[in-house]
């Protein structure tokens, strides 16, 4: 597992956690504090993670996201991820499908 964090002077602003089984990886979690959203932190974390993963010869990144989380889906699409499938009832509380997404990394 690998992780990256972003902090402000006061607190943790966000983090990203990835599981790596080269040549593939999976984003397990990306979270940004509500007060720190829309400031480029998620982009910076994703960029740093991808740069490191490329150096480690990772060629594909996967993730799952709640189907109702259209803001996250749009964010991932903006950065080259494509929807590749759907897992019904993947999430609980509330029950909801997951959208599977993938991005191929190039050097």
- Domain boundaries along the sequence of the chain: 2-104
Q: Judge whether 64 counts as a catalytic residue.
A: yes
Which is the catalytic residue, given 64, 79, 90, 91? 64
> CATH 3.40.50.2300: does it fit domain 2-104?
no
What is the reported pLDDT for 10?
A: 81
pLDDT digits (tens, 9 = 90+) for 74-92: 999 999 999 999 999 999 9
Residues 6+ apart with CB under 8 A from 11: 33
In whole angstroms, give the CA distance from residue 26 to residue 42: 16
Which is the catalytic residue, given 24, 26, 50, 76? 76
DSSP 39: S
What is the reported pLDDT for 107?
A: 65
pLDDT digits (tens, 9 = 90+) for 11-69: 899 999 999 999 999 999 999 999 999 999 999 999 999 999 999 999 999 999 999 99
Q: Judge whether 76 counts as a catalytic residue.
A: yes
């Amino acid at each position: 597992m690998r992780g990256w964090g972003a902090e402000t002077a006061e607190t943790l602003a966000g983090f990203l956690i990835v599981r790596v089984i080269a040549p593939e990886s999976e984003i397990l979690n990306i979270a940004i504090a509500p007060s720190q959203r829309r400031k480029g932190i998620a982009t910076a974390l994703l960029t740093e993670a991808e740069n490191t993963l490329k150096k480690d010869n990772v060629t594909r990144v996967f993730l799952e996201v709640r189907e109702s989380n259209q803001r996250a889906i749009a964010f991932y699409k903006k950065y080259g991820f494509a929807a590749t499938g759907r897992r019904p009832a993947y999430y609980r509380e509330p029950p909801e499908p997951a959208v599977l997404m993938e991005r191929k990394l190039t050097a």
